[in-house]
Amino acid sequence: MEEQFPVDGTVERIEALLEGLGQTDPESRGAAEELLRLLLQLYGAGLGRVVEILREAESEETMARLAGDKLVGSLLLLHGLHPQDAETRVRAALHRLERRLESHRLELTGVEDGVARVAIVRKGGGGRVPADLAASIEQAVTECAPELSRVEVEGLTAISLVQIAPIG
């Protein structure tokens, strides 16, 4: 059973504690930041060793399960240990999002210089592009590949407003 760890709340609490230390004693904040950095390096090295052992044991299924776990996957990303590259992760996220669409498909046209380019392609005579699709794409890409700096969405048509002038 997957236990829900409050990642966002924990990160916010760490930031608040560091901010509080900085306001009372800037030297303490520096020491606390160094302590956090060293702990992250230690845990990252340990996680790296776990990944190495799993690879040596050819436990690709287990690695895939770990990488697919939201918390563990984010830690693997943080330490540069995720087994899938950004392009593979983005394609999978787009595929999951695309399943909710009836008349469009999402196509990753490339990942280059920290930018994911996604095309929205109409299937057949299909309907309109959902209004929040660009935001949904951006959120999906940001969650699966936080190391990317931007998402460019192609294929959204601008809405033209018809101007009506008053008579007379």
The domain boundary residue, chosen from 78, 98, 128: 78
What CATH number does residue 119 fall under? 3.30.300.130
Q: Is residue 166 part of a domain?
A: no
Low-confidence ranges of the chain (pLDDT < 50): 1, 158-165
Predicted confidence at residue 100, as pLDDT, reads 85
Question: Could you tell me if residue 162 is inside a domain?
Answer: no
Q: Domain range holding 105?
A: 86-154
Q: Are 142 and 96 part of one and the same domain?
A: yes
Angle between helices 26-56 and 7-24 (to 10 degrees): 150
Q: Residues 4-42, buried b or exposed e (16+ Cβ, 10 A)? A: eeeeeeeeeeeeeebeebeeeeeeebeebeeeeeeeeee
Instruction: Give residue 13's pLDDT.
Output: 92
Q: Looking at the structure, tell me whether residues 106 and 52 fall in a common domain.
A: no
- Clarify whether residues 40 and 98 are in a common domain: no
Pair (58, 95) in one structural domain: no
For residues 100 and 38, state if they share a domain.
no
**144 in the same domain as 111:** yes
Which residues sit opposite 111 in a β-bridge? Answer: 116
8 Å CB contact between 137 and 94: yes
Residue 117 contacts residue 138 (beta carbons within 8 Å)? no
The answer to whether position 161 is within a domain reads no
Q: Tell me how many domains the chain contains.
A: 2
Q: Is residue 54 part of a domain?
A: yes
Q: What's the pLDDT at 2? A: 54
C-alpha dihedral (106, 109, 115, 118), degrees to nearest 10:
-20
Predicted structure pTM score: 0.68
Give yes or no for a contact between 122 and 144, defined as CB atoms under 8 angstroms apart.
no
Of the three residues 78, 100, 123, the one that is the final residue of a domain is 78
Among 42, 61, 78, the domain-final residue is 78
Same domain for 33 and 64, yes or no, is yes
**Assigned domain for 91 exists:** yes
Q: Quick one: tokens of 93?
A: 């996220």
Residue-level pLDDT at 3: 58
Nearest to 154 by CA among 113, 110, 112, 114: 110
